[in-house]
Chain A
Amino acid sequence: MNAKKVSANVVAVFIAAFFAFPTYWMVTTALKPKKDLLSSDFDLIPSSVTNSNFVTAWTKPGFLQSLGNSLLVSLSAVVAALVIGLLAALALSRMRFRGRKGFVMLMLVAQMAPFEALLIPMFLMMRDLGLYQQLSSLILIYFAVTLPFCAWTLRGFVNGIPIELEEAAMVDGCGRWGAFRRVTLPLLGPGLVATSVFAFITAWNEFLFAKVMVRAEDKETLPVWLSGFQSAFGTDWGGAMAASALFTVPVLVFFLIVQRKMVTGVTAGAVKG
């Protein structure tokens, strides 16, 4: 039994190394001086360290611009989706009205829509609206991608807050709005954070629509900029890795905050069958 446990742990360490290696390799490559990168030496462990790649990536034309674009697009879309999704979630979870079932199913089906398959009509639509080549087209699309997810997820979180708490607040003299603001909203905090982080990451990662909708260089988002990094800078792998690392950091920080909450969340409704 003990030998079995030891071998399980050893196997696990190898698996852990497999998962961590690309991150390790990204960071160490980013820290290596240029001359060490394009050599045929075996260099699993860096022999000297520099921050010049980070400086290169940071000061490369377009990096800060596309970072700003990415933040603008992702944050606007997610804030809109979160507010509008929360309103819908409150209605679906707290109120009884004709057609409720239909609206819930609409949210469920909408979030399964394969967005990639809507590339052509989205492109034509944004063109007709005069939003082609505008960052606002991406805001609208990311809003649409994340809205059903936000509404559906937040509905689940609202369901988890006992309505009796709100009722107690109303007995104590709160209005409906007051009861929501003082009781439900604070309890909903962690759910709102988790939902917004996941929605943000979806928008932050998105590549296809960002590539199609805006072609002008000053309107690129970070994924598009990064995908062009190599063709533009050839074999500057140090710079590419430093840029990748900078792109990863915000997501990693967010992820560490919320992953525990969402892992059980996404799949909890598994169908018996």
Chain B
Amino acid sequence: MTAVETTDAAVPVRTSSPAPRRAVAGGARRRRGSAFDRLLPYLLLAPAVIGILWLIGFPVVSVVVTSFRKLDLGELVRGEVKWVGLDNYTKVLSDPRFWEITVRTVVFTAVVVATSVVVGLVIALLMRQLSTPIRILLQVCMLLAWAMPIIASTTVYQWIFDQQYGILNKILVKLGFDYAGHSWFSTGTATLSVIGLLIVWQAIPFLAFSLYAGVIGVPADLYEAAGIDGATAWQTFRAVTWPELKPLLMMVTFLSLLWDFKVFTQIWVFKEGGPSGGSTTLPVLQYLEGISQSHFGVAAAVSVLMVVILTLLTVSYLRKLLQTQEGKL
């Protein structure tokens, strides 16, 4: 999970006033407390930092180290350490299936992110035009989608898209289309389309809500000025809404990339990456190699490559984000 900044950015960071506090503590206690005072922040941070280094830092190092080892079930049981250099990477990278899966994952992520961000933006802009009861209705309905646990929504979608008794096929038949007994999961692309719809459906509410918060934050006099200048709706959007919304839009796109690239649950529960591997993405490949087939070294190489690809996709924004956050401190 990720949040980048949580309270209003306008709230000043109040870290620069330890002086009055010490003054309050008073003369005699000051000297006694000062060593403790100096240690206190580190004591407070210690559990969190130890937790992070142990449970995140160590696995990060370990995944890289493991990717240079041959580690199958045999080696694991015997506790044997067998270094194979770049063999795992050569094996993965020379497999045409890996490239097929990588392209599929990137395309899938791009389509899902682009669709959900664009539709989310459109809904955010639409919400401004609505009468209050309709807007609340829309918000409540989006909240229902957002709040549904992933496994629950995946199960519901499977039922809706069920070949025999699914309501979607029934509706299509009712509308006069020949969809009786139509299977929505006959190919990998078809399966991924349904999964993509599910992910987009569940991703839009967050995007629409946050972009709507941005839309209503645009100063009203900017719109008035545009109106006085006789701007068309499109011109107003380009000249007023877009520049105000762009930082927020980039932020939610970045978060969506992080979230959608590593989707596993929905893909696995629908068809376990099938039919015949047609909906397998990188996280599924990692699971199949590592957990199903116990090729831990190869799977670790896949994990490392996954992170490399995700970093490449987000690097320009990531750099900017880290710089800005560092500047704020």
A112, B307: Cβ atoms under 8 Å?
Answer: no
Q: Of B142, B144, B159, B210, which one neighbours A237 at CB under 8 angstroms? A: B159
A147, B41: Cβ atoms under 8 Å?
Answer: no
Tell me which residues from 92 to 127 in chain A have a Cβ below 8 Å from any Cβ of chain B: 92-97, 100-101, 103-125, 127
Interface: A140 (CB within 8 A): yes
Q: How far is the CA of A112 from the CA of B18 in the complex (A)?
A: 31
Interface: B150 (CB within 8 A): yes
Interface: B160 (CB within 8 A): yes
Interface: B13 (CB within 8 A): yes
At the interface, is chain A mostly helix, strand, loop or mixed?
helix
Interface: B179 (CB within 8 A): no
B130, A12: Cβ atoms under 8 Å?
Answer: yes
The distance from the CB of A57 to the nearest CB of chain B, in whole angstroms, is: 12
The distance from the CB of A190 to the nearest CB of chain B, in whole angstroms, is: 11
Interface: A202 (CB within 8 A): yes
Q: Point out the residues of chain B lying under 8 angstroms from A9, CB to CB.
A: 129-131, 134
Q: How far is the CA of A271 from the CA of B317 in the complex (A)?
A: 9
* Given known A-B contacts A91-B44, A96-B15, A23 and B148 have beta carbons under 8 A apart: yes
B324, A208: Cβ atoms under 8 Å?
Answer: no
A160, B159: Cβ atoms under 8 Å?
Answer: no
Q: Point out the residues of chain A lying under 8 angstroms from B55, CB to CB.
A: 140-141, 143-144
Q: How large is the interface on A (under 10, 10 to 19, 20 to 34, 35 or more residues)?
A: 35 or more
A88, B44: Cβ atoms under 8 Å?
Answer: yes
Most buried by B among A15, A25, A144: A15
Q: Point out the residues of chain A lying under 8 angstroms from B142, CB to CB.
A: 16, 19
Interface string of A246-272 (1 = CB under 8 A from B): 011001100110010001111111111
Interface: A162 (CB within 8 A): yes
Q: Of B147, B300, B318, which one neighbours A248 at CB under 8 angstroms? A: B147
B4, A267: Cβ atoms under 8 Å?
Answer: yes
* Given known A-B contacts A12-B138, A205-B151, A268-B8, A92 and B45 have beta carbons under 8 A apart: yes
Chain A residue at smallest Cβ distance from B137: A16
Tell me which residues from 107 to 161 in chain A have a Cβ below 8 Å from any Cβ of chain B: 107-125, 127, 140-141, 143-149, 151-153, 155-157, 159-160
Q: How large is the interface on B (under 10, 10 to 19, 20 to 34, 35 or more residues)?
A: 35 or more
Interface: B325 (CB within 8 A): yes
Interface string of A202-228 (1 = CB under 8 A from B): 101101100010000000001100110
Q: Point out the residues of chain B lying under 8 angstroms from A35, CB to CB.
A: none
Q: Point out the residues of chain B lying under 8 angstroms from A156, CB to CB.
A: 5-7
A120, B15: Cβ atoms under 8 Å?
Answer: no
Q: How far is the CA of A263 from the CA of B265 in the complex (A)?
A: 24
A22, B145: Cβ atoms under 8 Å?
Answer: yes
Q: Of B11, B18, B66, B130, which one neighbours A95 at CB under 8 angstroms? A: B18
Interface: B17 (CB within 8 A): yes
Q: Which 3 A-B pairs have the closest CB atoms?
A: A269-B5, A156-B6, A144-B55
Give 9 new A-B contacts, CB below 8 A, not counting A103-B49, A222-B151. A12-B138, A22-B201, A94-B14, A117-B307, A148-B56, A204-B149, A207-B151, A207-B269, A212-B291
**Which A residues lie at the B interface, using CB under 8 A?**
4-5, 8-9, 11-13, 15-20, 22-23, 25-26, 29, 37-40, 42-44, 84-85, 87-88, 90-97, 100-101, 103-125, 127, 140-141, 143-149, 151-153, 155-157, 159-160, 162-163, 166-167, 170-171, 176, 191, 198-199, 201-202, 204-205, 207-208, 212, 222-223, 226-227, 229-230, 235, 237, 240-241, 244-245, 247-248, 251-252, 255-256, 259, 263-273
